[in-house]
Structure 1
């Protein structure tokens, strides 16, 4: 699963990295070192643009950065109260689950992340780890998004929300947790974001050995356990403890 991640780059940097236009309109408050469910996050989407009358131009697409709430609220939901329970979607079943199948067919996105947190349990002790790229490049987590409208308040703003797709963990990542985000290499970004592609399941594959070799898994402070804590120190490798007792995930 993916229950917490970090997203600290500003929209201009992300727009350049993902070849997208920044449409966040300053809705992101700033770097978030401890992204928690129901917070606003940046997502990369690709859609057919609309003219002044709302008609789509099917001859072209535009890739933009958008702000969404993490925790998908299906369009048919009576209210938005269940968002915190819908932060992840299992890639094995997303195409058939009522909550995700429409999004899987036509509303896929990328959720840029510096990395994600997961906890390794050793008896009663839970050691947090941060998985990130060694070169500082963003991880492209596969995501799904949708639009929910409050039928009781038809004049209210629609809620745009999203979920992270997950898959079984691979290689030494299994030492931390049995699930991990679906990570998309740049070579498949165009296909994944294509709004006209109805079946993208073949793009969901385990990371290559080369991709895995570019990752660093570092033990970090248990301060990340509290969503109230939010700062660059949460991403730093812990010191002052016996790391030999931890799994050697970078061997």
Structure 2
């Protein structure tokens, strides 16, 4: 599962949207700087660490601060909701009606049994996107949010020894389709094929600090 990731404010390359909107990239950079390089984690009930999410809007794309994980009857879901298996979406494509893209510069997993944290990134350290499914949520006090769950797939062969799952990465050329195409089994099948084109570019290295970017700014 993916339970934490990084968003480096110093990114120079962005492999996020085919026609990267300068306002979106500027907004992400400002958010990342305000986040002080901290690891991005699931949203908590008390500490509402809302995270950037690229969402479809009026045929285009925008970003908004969103809730990582689902809200059910005003509370964080009792079931695991920060990740969704791609296989589940293939079996039940109704979950693909709402979709977004999670901007990240890396993600983190623990290698077992040595319990060493590993960092996964693209070979050029660019900002990239991971597929997410979304649904509306409301807290007990009536605040409304877009809630998201990162779509996970079996890991690429060269990464499987470190961790058996990885996010479904969205190449820039497929970003518009992921955000705007009709939902259904076809879109997740196409996303998996598109994601495979990035497999060989994913690198993994031991993470320098278990605390996250406080030491490294990613």
TM band (smaller chain): 0.7 to 0.9
1:53 aligns with none
Which aligned runs of 4 or more in structure 1 are off by greater than 3 angstroms? 10-14, 20-29
Change (3 A) 1:92 1:130: same
* Structure 1 residue 204 displacement after superposition: 2.8
Matches within 5 A, 1:121-136: 121-122=112-113, 125-136=114-125
Aligned length: 204
Q: Any idea what the Cα deviations from partners look like across 1:86-111, whole Å, max 9, x if unmatched?
A: 110111113666xx934x12x11110
Aligned to 2:182: 197
Task: Give the direction of change, closer, same or farther, for the CA distance of 1:139–1:63 in structure 2 (3 Å limit).
Answer: same
Q: Which residue in the other structure is 1:41 paired with?
A: 51
1:83–1:144 distance in 2 versus 1, CA, 3 Å: farther
Give the distance between the partners of 1:121 and 1:63, measured in 2 at CA: 38
Structure 1 unmatched ranges of 5 or more: 49-60, 236-251
Q: Which of 89, 95, 100 is matched with 1:94 structurally?
A: 89
Query: Residue 90 and residue 81 in structure 1: after superposition, are their counterparts in 2 closer, same or farther (change >3 A)?
Result: same
1:67 positional shift: 1.0
Q: Following TM superposition, by how much is the alpha carbon of 1:214 offset from its aligned partner in structure 2, in angstroms?
A: 2.2
Q: Could you tell me whether the CA contact under 8 Å between 2:5 and 2:41 is conserved in 1?
A: yes
Q: Provide Cα deviations, 1:100-159, integer angstroms capped at 9, x if missing partner.
A: 934x12x1111011111111113xx21111011121212211011221134x65xx3212
TM-score by length of 1: 0.69
Question: Who wins on radius of gyration, i.e. which is larger?
Answer: 1
1:48-59 matched pairs, under 5 angstroms: 48=58
Correspondence list, 1:197-216, <5 A? 197-199=182-184, 200-205=187-192, 207-208=195-196, 211-216=198-203
Choose between structure 1 and 2: higher strand proportion. Answer: 2
Question: What CA distance in whole angstroms lies between the structure 2 residues aligned with 1:90 and 1:130?
Answer: 21
Which structure 2 segments of 5+ residues have no match? 44-48
Of the candidates 53, 69, 72, which is equivalent to residue 70 of structure 2? Answer: 72
Contact 1:129 1:220 in 2 (8 A): yes
CA RMSD of superposed structures (Å): 3.1
1:8 alignment counterpart: 8
